[in-house]
């Protein structure tokens, strides 16, 4: 299942315009304005417009990205409280719209140690009590004090959250590479073997397919167009033809998505055997 991040300027229903234009089976977008803490209400009419547009579209699955503002493990109490409130709202909105997957960056710990931050995350979700959606913890590049930049840490997060029905993993190719797993060449199988040591492969519910502008182990999160970065086409060919992941949403998140998204999708499709 292949698709792309899409821009939804003018309304979230425009996701389906881009999805159909680019022949996507899956699209990813923000349910709310991603750079603002304030969120507008959604009217029944708008929900209907969205659902009608989805019905009339070939898009099968939607993955919503939680805005980067949200940091449930922030050291700042105000940010933590706002993040909790927003997470609740995003889950509610997803349910109203019929969106199944929500991708979440597990957060930046600041000066706290990671196990303390994981406890804070666990306590947040105890308050949120998520249900009816699947929240996918994204693998991170290891920039700054971000949580989730190793498979072991993702495992610890999943263990702490302790709800197999709700929590899964979103595997981002650029982040995994930047954090220090060489997914190129023979590293492809090695990386998934390493993943399996900590987490069953079936916990991967979505892939972000991005090449990396920065070097292997750079710990710097910079996405690049497919085939133009440090990862190269070989990895993307392998993942797109891997039977184990055939039905898992694979989503492009490359730069200049409006201008270059379709071209990147074309490059990916050409790799499918
Ligand atoms: Zn990503």
pTM above 0.95, yes or no: yes
Q: What pLDDT was estimated at residue 10?
A: 87
Q: Which CATH number do you get for residue 187? A: 3.20.20.150
Supply the DSSP symbol for 215.
P
Distance (Å) from CA 117 to ligand 1 centroid: 21
Cα 42 to averaged position of ligand 1 atoms, centre (Å): 26
**What residue numbers bound the domain in which 190 lies?**
2-269
What's the 26 CA to ligand 1 centre distance in angstroms?
A: 15
SS (H, E, C) 241-259: CCHHHCCCCEEECCCCHHH
Number of domains observed in the structure of the chain: 1
**Given this model, what pLDDT does residue 79 score?**
97
Cα 44 to ligand 1 centroid, rounded to whole Å: 31
Q: Residue 261 is inside which H or E element, if any?
A: helix 257-269
| Ion ligand 1 — residues with CB < 5 Å | 172, 208, 253
**Ligand 1 centroid, distance to 263 Cα (angstroms):** 19
Q: From the CA of 77, how far away is ligand 1's center (Å)?
A: 26
Q: Rounded to an integer, what distance in angstroms lies between the CA atom of residue 129 and that of residue 95?
A: 14
CA of 45 to the centre of ligand 1 (A): 31
Nearest-angstrom CA–CA distance, 13 and 56:
11
Give burial (CB, 10 Å; 0-12/13-18/19+) of 247: exposed
Find the 231 Cα to ligand 1 centroid distance in Å: 15
Distance 63 CA to ligand 1 centre (A): 11
Model pLDDT for residues 96-126, shown as the tens digit of each residue: 999 999 999 999 999 999 999 999 999 999 9
Check if the beta carbon of residue 181 is closer than 8 Å to that of residue 142: no
CA of 221 to the centre of ligand 1 (A): 9
Q: Six-digit token pair at 137?
A: 């913890």
Q: What is the per-residue pLDDT across 19-60, written as a single tens digit (0 to 9) for each?
A: 999 999 999 999 999 999 999 999 999 999 999 999 999 999
Regions in the chain scoring below 50 on pLDDT: none
Beta strands 223-224 and 211-212 are: antiparallel
Max CA pair span of the chain: 51
Which residue from 134, 139, 180, 200 is spatially nearest to 161, judged by alpha carbons?
134
Ligand 1 centroid – CA 41 distance (Å) = 27
Residue count (the chain): 273
Q: Please state, in angstroms and rounded to a whole number, the distance separating the CA atoms of residues 62 and 53.
A: 13
pLDDT score for 111: 94
Are 266 and 15 in contact, with CB atoms under 8 Å apart? no
């Amino acid at each position: 299942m292949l698709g792309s991040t899409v821009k939804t300027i003018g309304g979230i229903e425009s996701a389906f315009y881009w999805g159909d234009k680019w022949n996507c089976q899956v699209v990813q977008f923000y349910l709310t304005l991603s750079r603002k803490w304030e969120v507008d209400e959604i009217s029944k009419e708008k929900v209907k417009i969205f659902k009608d547009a989805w019905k009339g579209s070939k898009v099968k699955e939607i993955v919503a990205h939680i805005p980067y503002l949200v940091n449930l493990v922030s050291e700042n109490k105000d940010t933590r409280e706002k993040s909790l409130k927003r997470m609740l709202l995003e889950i509610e909105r997803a349910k109203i719209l019929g969106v199944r997957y929500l991708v979440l960056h597990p957060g930046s710990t600041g000066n706290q140690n990671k196990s303390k931050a994981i406890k804070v995350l666990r306590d947040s979700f105890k308050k949120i009590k998520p249900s009816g959606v699947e929240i996918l913890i994204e693998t991170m590049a290891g920039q700054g004090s971000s949580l989730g930049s190793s498979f072991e840490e993702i495992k610890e997060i999943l263990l702490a959250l302790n709800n197999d029905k709700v929590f899964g993993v979103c595997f981002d190719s650029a982040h995994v590479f930047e954090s220090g797993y060489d997914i190129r060449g023979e590293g492809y199988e090695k990386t998934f073997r390493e993943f399996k040591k900590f987490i069953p492969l079936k916990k991967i519910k979505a892939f972000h397919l991005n090449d990396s502008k920065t070097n292997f182990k750079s710990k710097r999160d910079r996405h690049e167009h497919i085939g133009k970065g440090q990862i190269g086409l070989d990895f993307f060919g392998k993942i797109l033809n891997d039977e184990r992941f055939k039905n898992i949403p694979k989503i492009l998140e490359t730069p200049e998505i409006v201008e270059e998204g379709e071209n990147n999708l074309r490059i990916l499709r050409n790799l499918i055997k």
